[in-house]
Structure 1
Amino acid sequence: MSGRPASGKRRVVVGISGASGSAYGIRLLEMLRATPNVETHLVVSRSARQTLQLETSRTVSDVEALADVVHSSVDIGASISSGSFRVHAMVVAPCSIKTMSNLAWGNTGELIARAADVALKERRRVVLMLRETPLHVGHIESMLRVSQAGAIVFPPVPAFYNRPQSVADIVDHSVMRCLDLIDIECEAAPRWGEASRSLLAAATNAPKRAPSGMSTHE
């Protein structure tokens, strides 16, 4: 079923949980806001409100202003809690172990887990940017269960082939890859083919360096 409402826009639900990594959710909203014909629905959990204050200089109001529609995390009657409300996809960024476990075991008393559960039963794409390490067997079992239900577990593991120069570069690459998974175009960071070709060319053309302690004349 299409996630496009009568307006023709693709609706994307964004959940921000209390896990560390608020920057991922904020950057996701910024990228979606810059994408034509996308309507975002945001849910910020109670724990996420505290994490936002600890990790960023953004207020909750600042973050909510990036979304088209904002829902309370305790509003189980929200539009996104029903399968008849068509959405394109849902991303939880960052996703806490609690949120993933709630989804894995059917504990849908909070709106993020409820909306994700609804999206899965309607066979829509759900991406969980899981933020936890190391993992014990209970975490891994929950990852298996949500994967079997159709969700994509996407820990934002940084890439280094693009030579990131800042934390923002690392965040942009992970969020771009996340958007790839829900079929939304966003060229926010170098991709492997682009980065590898330019870096290999630079390495090939660079002057040869002698090993440390040796002269090039020896």
Structure 2
Amino acid sequence: MQTDRFPPRVVVGITGASGVLYGVRALELLGQLGVETHLVFTKAARATLAQETDLGVADVRALACHVYSEHDLGAAISSGSFPTDGMLVAPCSVKSLSGIANSYDDNLLVRAADVTLKERRPLVLLVRETPLHAGHLRLMAQACDAGATIMPPVPAFYTKPGSVEELITQTAGRALDALRLSHPATARWSATSRR
């Protein structure tokens, strides 16, 4: 971990895009690293959680150190004076991407991301949409120009994953790498990976 603060402090946003398990697994990995996590779990994310998993909202909330309503624009994470080591939005819907790219801070997730960018802290967006039209690409470029890392959750097959869970863990681990918080569960490329 490359941070002066211990434990590190990371904001995690989970939107309603498909792939809610990326955010859940990221919270689990961050917890294993002893990271202080601040979660914004949107109403749309709760609906996706029910559609895609057998987990309950309480299960996800229990993985975070602090949980905020997306409507709580007065929360600590809405201010740059509250130091964090970065933010991960996993998955990141196009709606949230648009809000972040345009600094349209109408909810806490977008506001926290905007604060992360203005304070020049790492912001990683697991944009979950396909296929992409020119508007999506422009939004991603705009967010990238502002300082975000755009990381669509594209699976890595060089690790020879044996399950969907392994694919999710690898993607979540690489997202943590982008926050400069490496996890031992993340498989690394090596010459032996090619055999």
| TM-score > 0.5 by shorter chain | yes
- TM-score category (smaller protein): over 0.9
- Output one character per residue of 1:18-45: Cα deviation in whole Å (capped at 9) or x when no partner: 0000110000000001003x10000001
- The question of whether the paired residues in 2 share the 8 Å contact of 1:3 and 1:11 is answered with no
Match of 1:70 among 49, 62, 67: 67
Q: Following the alignment from structure 1 to structure 2, what is the Cα–Cα distance between the partners of residues 124 and 189?
A: 22
Deviation at 1:189, TM superposition (A): 3.6
Q: Following the alignment from structure 2 to structure 1, what is the Cα–Cα distance between the partners of residues 152 and 85?
A: 21
Q: Following the alignment from structure 2 to structure 1, what is the Cα–Cα distance between the partners of residues 181 and 106?
A: 29
The yes-or-no answer on 1:20 pairing with 2:15 is no
Q: Following the alignment from structure 2 to structure 1, what is the Cα–Cα distance between the partners of residues 132 and 182?
A: 32
Paired residues for 1:186-205 under 5 Å: 186-193=183-190, 196-197=191-192, 199-200=194-195
| AA aligned opposite 1:54 | Q
Q: Following the alignment from structure 1 to structure 2, what is the Cα–Cα distance between the partners of residues 198 and 107?
A: 43
Q: Following the alignment from structure 1 to structure 2, what is the Cα–Cα distance between the partners of residues 158 and 198?
A: 15
Q: Which residue of 1 aligns with 2:167?
A: 170
Q: Which residue of 1 aligns with 2:151?
A: 154
Q: Following the alignment from structure 2 to structure 1, what is the Cα–Cα distance between the partners of residues 110 and 133?
A: 21
- Output one character per residue of 1:69-126: Cα deviation in whole Å (capped at 9) or x when no partner: 0010100000000000000010000000000001111211111100000010000000
Match of 2:100 among 80, 100, 103: 103
Q: Following the alignment from structure 1 to structure 2, what is the Cα–Cα distance between the partners of residues 138 and 198?
A: 37
Please say which structure displays the higher CA radius of gyration: 1
Query: Could you tell me the TM-score, scaled by structure 2's length?
Result: 0.96
- The question of whether the paired residues in 1 share the 8 Å contact of 2:174 and 2:186 is answered with no
Q: Following the alignment from structure 1 to structure 2, what is the Cα–Cα distance between the partners of residues 113 and 88?
A: 17
Match of 2:53 among 51, 56, 60: 56
- The question of whether the paired residues in 2 share the 8 Å contact of 1:157 and 1:174 is answered with yes
Match of 1:11 among 9, 12, 26: 9
Q: How many residue pairs were aligned?
A: 193
The yes-or-no answer on 1:126 pairing with 2:123 is yes
| AA aligned opposite 2:181 | I
Give structure 2 stretches of 5+ with no counterpart.
Answer: none
- Given the superposition, is the C-alpha separation of residues 107 and 164 from structure 1 closer, same or farther in structure 2, using an over 3 Å criterion? same
Which structure would you say has the larger RCO, counting Cα contacts within 8 Å and 6 or more residues apart?
A: 2
Query: Could you tell me the TM-score, scaled by structure 1's length?
Result: 0.86
- CA RMSD in angstroms comes to 1.2
Percent identity between the aligned chains? Answer: 50
- The question of whether the paired residues in 2 share the 8 Å contact of 1:73 and 1:112 is answered with yes
Deviation at 1:187, TM superposition (A): 1.8
| AA aligned opposite 2:27 | L
- The question of whether the paired residues in 2 share the 8 Å contact of 1:3 and 1:86 is answered with no
Give structure 1 stretches of 5+ with no counterpart.
Answer: 201-218
